[in-house]
A and B are shown apart, each in its own frame.
Chain A
Amino acid sequence: MTEPLIVARNLRKEYDDLVAVDDVSFEVAPGGSLGIVGESGSGKTTVAKMLVGLERPTAGRIEIAGTDCSVPARGWRERSRRARSLQIVFQDPYSSLDPRQSVGDALREVLVVAGLGRDRTEARARELVDLVGMPERVLGSRPSALSGGQRQRVAIARALATEPRCVILDESVAALDVSIQAQILNLLADIRERTGVAYILVSHDLAVVRHVTDDVIVMRNGAIVERGETGTVLDDPQHPYTQLLRESVPRPGWVPSAGATR
């Protein structure tokens, strides 16, 4: 068994009286893919924020590539090291890009901050738009000229720019049309195959989780209620909450009230 890339141990996050995340532990292997499933308010996004250092865990430990990342980074060296191991793609493609910055400038800035020489950034920026299946001319476009799906591709390209070992996809396809969702999911699967990047997919959408992940944890009220291989958990859920989540997915013959009552 190889050394896990990301280890979360007994993570806990409290906001005043509210316990948002309670005793959450998991591991992600290099090139692995973990789904974090749960409804709104289950704490799954808080877990993602703690992993990337946007929130400080109240208790618990986060290790990324063997180093302790439980507290927010101090100093640019540490920040840039973490930036190269873990990145995140947010849910909302409309606010996750600086509206004043062209796609090319956005990508070049990440590369320059990451310490890539200016002579190499241009080639790498072209490589990146190509990786996410966009034509090179979008390098000159402002986000306002792009559709939601295109923006999300840009956000993915930006997250991949520094060749992180893992990318967190925080509801990254939830704001997109279903057909665009499918394109982006295929793109993500394709990128994983080509680059060996690991994913942590945070989602409430079981179909999306099934499409992208190998393993899954199911969260409710801040705690993990079920975990295992994605296929097993989703086909044969053991915990009543997971069964409920599954029942709530609309399908032929589905009656709204059946899933809504507990």
Chain B
Amino acid sequence: MSVAQVATIVRTRRRSRLSHLGVIGWLALAVIVVFMFVAAFGEALAPYDPNAIDIAYSNVGPIPGHPLGFDELGRDLLSRLLVGARSSFVGPLALVALSTVAGTTLALIAAWRRGWTDATLSAGFDIAFAFPGILLAILLATLFGAGMAVAVIALTLAYTPALGRLLRATALRETGMEYVKAFRVMGYSDFRIVVRHVLPNLMPFIIAQAIVMFGYATLDLGGLSFLGLGVQPPTADWGVMVAAGAPALLQGYPMQTLAAGTCLVLAAVAFGVLGDRLARMWGVE
């Protein structure tokens, strides 16, 4: 069997149905759908004002009407968790969108131009990839002040080369296909070939990668908020909540940290699993 025939089999497999996600894949998808719903309508779903402080209820455990109890300032924990979903996902969404667009563009340019353009971009990917995103974020935060925008920009700089490297290799294979050569002989413009033919054929790979990346983004941005470099209190955010609940851990009240931490981990795992399953289903691992 020739390489091309193998590629064809992989291609036909891409079209397989969603049923091939498997139980775990569907579970992950369900978790993500629930989280996205909460992120969209969290404020309407929240039973109480997430910012209403009542020191009398500081770190009080679950009571009737307040199934998760209260945080250190006596705010309703469930309400803060529901409202916090949005800020916990908006950052990752921006981060994934920015780095996917940037990474895809650079990878396509490298794969299409080849030669020194490719060599330069690949070297750039490798150098940028060597900087840990979190450290870069800390550096930028000290220079420009802490905040979500700075955290997203710092992590975009770290995520873009990661996707760029992966996608470049796949794009090189795709641009080497004979249909691309045939289109060149047909006189198609570079733009037409890349944007209307190569890019759509790479979409399954890009989508799967973006979903996996979303999981990492949730954790990394949550981590930066935990460190105080991302979302700033009093805005409800899962990373901030994990940090805010930390002192109470020592007093034997783990509820806030546990609840917010569970949500973060669940989201990260769900995105990772779904991305992985989609990649396998489309044959683009």
Question: Residues of A at under 8 Å CB distance from B?
Answer: 52-54, 73, 76, 79-80, 82-83, 86-88, 90-92, 94-101, 109-110, 113-114, 144, 155, 158-159, 162, 175
Q: Given A92-B2, A113-B187, 14 other A-B contacts at CB below 8 A?
A: A73-B187, A76-B187, A76-B189, A88-B182, A92-B4, A94-B7, A95-B178, A98-B197, A99-B11, A100-B200, A101-B197, A113-B186, A113-B192, A159-B182
Which of B5, B179, B187 meets A96, CB within 8 Å?
Answer: B179
B37 close to A (CB within 8 Å)? no
Query: Which B residue sits closest to A92, measured CB to CB?
Result: B4
Contact A83-B15, Cβ < 8 Å, known A95-B4, A95-B179, A144-B8: no
User: Which residues of B sit under 8 angstroms from A113, Cβ to Cβ?
Assistant: 186-188, 192
Which of A87, A94, A159 meets B8, CB within 8 Å?
Answer: A94
A79 contacts B201, C-beta separation under 8 Å: no
Give CA–CA (A197, B242) in the complex, Å. 74
Q: Which of B176-222 contact A (CB under 8 A)?
A: 177-179, 181-189, 192, 197, 200-201
B182 contacts A90, C-beta separation under 8 Å: yes
Contact A82-B201, Cβ < 8 Å, known A95-B4, A158-B182: no
- The main secondary structure of chain B at its interface with chain A is helix
A144 contacts B185, C-beta separation under 8 Å: no
Give CA–CA (A86, B181) in the complex, Å. 14
A-B contact count (CB 8 A): 74
User: Which residues of A sit under 8 angstroms from B201, Cβ to Cβ?
Assistant: 98-100
User: Which residues of B sit under 8 angstroms from A159, Cβ to Cβ?
Assistant: 182
The 10 A-B pairs at the shortest CB distance, nearest first, are namely A83-B187, A79-B187, A96-B178, A80-B187, A90-B178, A94-B8, A95-B4, A95-B178, A92-B4, A52-B185
A96 contacts B182, C-beta separation under 8 Å: yes
CB distance from A197 to the nearest CB of B (A): 15
CB distance from B19 to the nearest CB of A (A): 19
Give CA–CA (A82, B2) in the complex, Å. 31
B185 contacts A53, C-beta separation under 8 Å: yes
Can you sample 20 A-B contacts with CB below 8 Å?
A: A53-B184, A54-B185, A80-B187, A83-B185, A88-B185, A90-B181, A92-B2, A94-B4, A94-B7, A95-B178, A98-B197, A99-B11, A100-B201, A101-B197, A110-B186, A144-B11, A144-B12, A158-B186, A162-B186, A175-B2
User: Which residues of B sit under 8 angstroms from A76, Cβ to Cβ?
Assistant: 187, 189
B8 contacts A95, C-beta separation under 8 Å: yes
CB distance from B182 to the nearest CB of A (A): 6
User: Which residues of B sit under 8 angstroms from A109, Cβ to Cβ?
Assistant: 188
Give CA–CA (A54, B200) in the complex, Å. 23
CB distance from B112 to the nearest CB of A (A): 14
CB distance from A105 to the nearest CB of B (A): 10
